A and B are shown apart, each in its own frame.
Chain A
C-alpha cells in the first residue's frame, strides 16, 4: 500500500507542476549586445541587439519567416535601466533574455555622468553574466550595437571575437563586467574600460570602390574612470603601456629602426613577456619597482640583419628597452598626474604585500599621485624566425 501511494504521489507531483518557469528557447528574445545612451530629459536609452535565430543561422530543412536581417535592434527609454527594459516589452513579441549577452556598450557622455547604476543593475540581475564585455564609445551606443560587420553575422559576436584577440593589436584592454565591478568596489583601484569607435572602412571585397563606405566597430584605446565617472581617454598607442598592469600579455609587436640605418624599420614580435611590480616602502611612503622581461623574435627586417651580429642585437635590444620603458612611464605619468586615478592596480599590489601599512598611509587616492614608480625593462632577442642569415641582394 505504502509504496503504491508513494508512486502515485510521485507521478502526480510531476504532472501537477504546470511546468513552472518553463520558457521554450524559441520564445526568447536573445540579447546579443546592449547599448546605453543618454535619453531625453535625463532618461536612459537602452538599445538591445536581439538576434533573429532563423536568419542568423542558415538552417536547412527549417524554412522560417526569413527576412534577411540577422538582428533586430530595439530601443526603449526609461528613467532607470530596468524601466527602459520593461518598456521594451511593450513592443517585443518575445521575452527579453539576457544570459547570452556578449557586450555592454556605454556612451561616453553617459559615462562621464557616472555608471554606478549600470554596474549595479548588470551585476544584480541573475540572468546577466559577469563575463560580458563592457566598453565605452564616443559614438552613439545604439549605433555601435546595431552595426553589421563583414565577417560575423551577429554584431555582438563580432565584438566578442574582437576582444578575444586584442592582445595581437594591443590597442585596447579587454574588460569584462567582473573587472569593472571589482575595480569599482575596490578602495584603491579604479576602473578602466575598453573603448570602441565607429570608423568608416571597406567591408565588401567585390566592390573596392566602396572602401570606406561602411562604418565598422574599431578598438580605440581605453576609457579611464575615477570612482564611477569617466575622467579621460587613453589613446590606442598608449594602451600598450597599460596592458601589462591589468592583463597577462604574452605577445605584441614593437617597431624599431634598424641598427645601421634609422630610416629603415624592423619589427620585433614579443614571444614571451613577464611583468612584475615590486612594492616597497621608502621613507614611509609606498614606492614601486616594475620590471618587464621580454623575449623577442625578429619577424621582419628592412635591413640586412643577423642574430650572429652581437653588436647589432645589443643595439636593438637597448632601443626596444627604451621604447617599452617610455610607454610604461607615459601611462604611469598619465595615471598619477593627469587623471589621478589608480587604474594600474598599484594600490592593490601594495595592499596585498603590506596589509597593515596600507591601512596607516591614509586615503590611497591622495597618496597615489605622489608615489614613486620606477620602470625597468630587459629585452632579449634570441630568435629570428626561420631566417638566420641576413636578407640582402647578391648576398
Chain B
C-alpha cells in the first residue's frame, strides 16, 4: 500500500541512514534540482556515512562546502574523544556544538520540516546512527540589486527601492528604525507556495488591536499560492467591491518606515517588491515622499497642485461634456463660440467624442506599458499624431476635446501612487456617462453616490476619508498642507499618541549675541522669561 504525501511527511527520522535517504528520495522523486551529496563522516569506526541534501540554486554552495569540510575533517577529532559504545544520542548535539558552532544549525526530527527547509534554501545533513538531522541555514540565491523604485520616483530623498527578497526588504526598513520596539513577525501563507510574510510595526505606537486584526485576516487566508503582495491586498482589504483601494502598496522603504512611525502596520511579502501598508487614508495616495523631504512651503505647494490634479482628472471631462451638451448658458460667451466653432464639423455627440478620446488615451497608455522598450517610442509617436493632430484635422474630434483629455491624462499621471491613480481613473467613467446622459443632475447624482460610498468605507477600522471626514483638527498639520517638522509636535491621531513626535523649542533661529547655537539660545531665552 502506498502512503500519501502527507503521511510520508509526518514520519520521524530513523537512526538508519539508508532508511532516511530512501524516504527522502521517495518524497523528492523527480525533483532534479535537489542535490544528494554523500560523504563519509568517519571511516574507521562503524563506517559512519552521511548525506547532504539541498536545492541547487537556492543555497550558498560555499557555505555548504565549508560545513562538509568541517564534518569530514573535524569528525575524526571528535570521535577520538568519544567512546564508540556511546555513539548514539549525544553525537548530534556534540557535532552541533563542537564542530558546527560557526554555523546556524538546527536539529530536526520530523521529515516535514526538513523537506520544507530544503525547499526554502536550507540544507540538511544526515548522519548515520543518529535520528536527528542537521538543518543548516545556507540560503543564498541570486537577487535583483537594490534599485530606484520604478513607480515612485522622487527628486529629493532616498533612492533605494525594495526588491524581491523579503530579508533585504525588512533590512532596508530596519536600517531606518533601529529600535527594539520595531517588531517584525513572521508567518507563512499559501498551501503550496508557503510564502513568507512579515508583519512589521512599532510596538507602543501602533494602536491596540490593529496588529491582531492584521494577523487574524492573514491567518484566515486559504490559497494555494501567493505570487505577489497584490494577492494578499485583495484578500485582506475592507471594501472588496469598491473601486477605491484601501491598502497602500509602495516600493519605497522610507515610506514604509515613516508609515510605521505613524502607527501603521506594514506587511512584507516574499517575492514582491511591493510592501502593503494598513490602515490607509484616501489622501495618502495623493501625498508623495518628496513632500516631507523638500522645504515645507514647496512641499505644501506641490501637494496642493496634486490635489488640484486629482480634481481635474476626476471631473474635468465630465464637466466639459455636461456643459457642452446640456448647459451651454454656463459657458462664457467667448469660450462658447470657440467650442462651437471647433465642434462644427464633428459628427459625434460630445459624450461619444469624450469616450472615444478617453478610450484611445487609455489604449495608448496600456500599449506603451506593454510594448517592449525599444518599440515603446513608436507608440507615443503614433499615438500623439493620431490622437492629437490627425483626429482633429479629420474632423473626428474637436480640438478642445483633445485639450481636455490631455489635461485629464496629465493630471492623472501627477497622482503619485499607481494604484490610487487607477482607482481615480476608473471612477471617472461612470461620472462621465452620468453627466453625458443627465447633465448637471447626473453629474451631481453620481458624484454624491461616489462620495457617499467613499464615506462608508473603512480601512482596518479607520474611516477612509479621515482626517478630512471625520474632521480631525490635530491631523490637519499633515493633510492639505505639510507643516514644518518643528510644528509636528504630536503623533497623528492614528497612533496611540502617547509620545510626542518632536521635542519642544525645535524651531531653529539664528544665535543671539552671546548665544552659541540656535536651540541653546532659544532655551536661554525661555528660561530668562
A binds B: yes
Q: Is A113 an interface residue (CB 8 A)?
A: no
A297 to B173, CA, bound (A): 72
Flag if A14 contacts B344 (CB, 8 Å).
no
Q: Is B385 an interface residue (CB 8 A)?
A: no
Flag if B338 contacts A25 (CB, 8 Å).
no
Flag if A62 contacts B345 (CB, 8 Å).
yes
* Minimum CB–CB distance for A149 against chain B, Å: 16
Residues of the A chain whose Cβ atoms lie less than 8 Å from the Cβ of B337:
30, 51, 53, 56-57, 154
Residues of the A chain whose Cβ atoms lie less than 8 Å from the Cβ of B326:
21-23
* Minimum CB–CB distance for B50 against chain A, Å: 63
Residues of the B chain whose Cβ atoms lie less than 8 Å from the Cβ of A59:
338, 341-342, 344, 399
* Minimum CB–CB distance for B285 against chain A, Å: 24
Known contacts A61-B392, A97-B328: A30-B340 contact under CB 8 Å: yes
Residues of the A chain whose Cβ atoms lie less than 8 Å from the Cβ of B434:
14
Q: Is A90 an interface residue (CB 8 A)?
A: no
Contact with A along B114-129 (1 / 0, CB 8 A): 0000000000000000
Interface residues on B, range: 35 or more
Flag if A14 contacts B437 (CB, 8 Å).
yes
* Minimum CB–CB distance for A245 against chain B, Å: 30
A60 to B388, CA, bound (A): 13
* Minimum CB–CB distance for B236 against chain A, Å: 21
* Minimum CB–CB distance for B260 against chain A, Å: 35
Q: Which residues of A from 26 to 80 have beta carbons under 8 Å from B?
A: 26, 28, 30, 32, 51, 53-54, 56-57, 59-65
A51 to B339, CA, bound (A): 13
* Minimum CB–CB distance for A126 against chain B, Å: 9
Contacts A19-B349, A23-B328 known; 16 new A-B pairs at CB < 8 A: A10-B449, A14-B433, A14-B442, A17-B437, A19-B436, A22-B325, A22-B437, A24-B343, A25-B324, A26-B344, A53-B337, A53-B341, A53-B344, A62-B341, A100-B328, A157-B334
Q: Is B438 an interface residue (CB 8 A)?
A: yes
Residues of the A chain whose Cβ atoms lie less than 8 Å from the Cβ of B343:
24-26
Flag if A26 contacts B333 (CB, 8 Å).
no
Q: Is A8 an interface residue (CB 8 A)?
A: no
Q: Which residues of B from 284 to 343 have beta carbons under 8 Å from A?
A: 324-326, 328-329, 331, 333-334, 336-343
Q: Is B350 an interface residue (CB 8 A)?
A: yes
A190 to B438, CA, bound (A): 43
Q: Is B393 an interface residue (CB 8 A)?
A: yes
Flag if A22 contacts B349 (CB, 8 Å).
yes
Q: Is A15 an interface residue (CB 8 A)?
A: yes
B interface residues (Cβ-Cβ under 8 A, vs A) = 241, 324-326, 328-329, 331, 333-334, 336-346, 349-351, 389, 392-393, 395, 398-399, 433-434, 436-439, 442, 449
A23 to B442, CA, bound (A): 15
Flag if A26 contacts B438 (CB, 8 Å).
no
Residues of the A chain whose Cβ atoms lie less than 8 Å from the Cβ of B399:
59-62
Q: Is A394 an interface residue (CB 8 A)?
A: no
Residues of the B chain whose Cβ atoms lie less than 8 Å from the Cβ of A64:
341, 344-345
* Minimum CB–CB distance for B180 against chain A, Å: 46
A-B complex: 6 closest residue pairs judged by Cβ atoms:
A99-B329, A53-B340, A53-B341, A57-B341, A64-B344, A26-B343
Residues of the B chain whose Cβ atoms lie less than 8 Å from the Cβ of A305:
none
Closest A residue to B394 by beta carbon equals A61
Flag if B449 contacts A25 (CB, 8 Å).
no
A127 to B389, CA, bound (A): 36
A54 to B346, CA, bound (A): 12
Known contacts A14-B442, A21-B439, A100-B336: A62-B398 contact under CB 8 Å: yes
Of B329, B337, B439, which is in contact with the most chain A CB atoms at under 10 Å from its CB?
A: B337
A32 to B389, CA, bound (A): 31
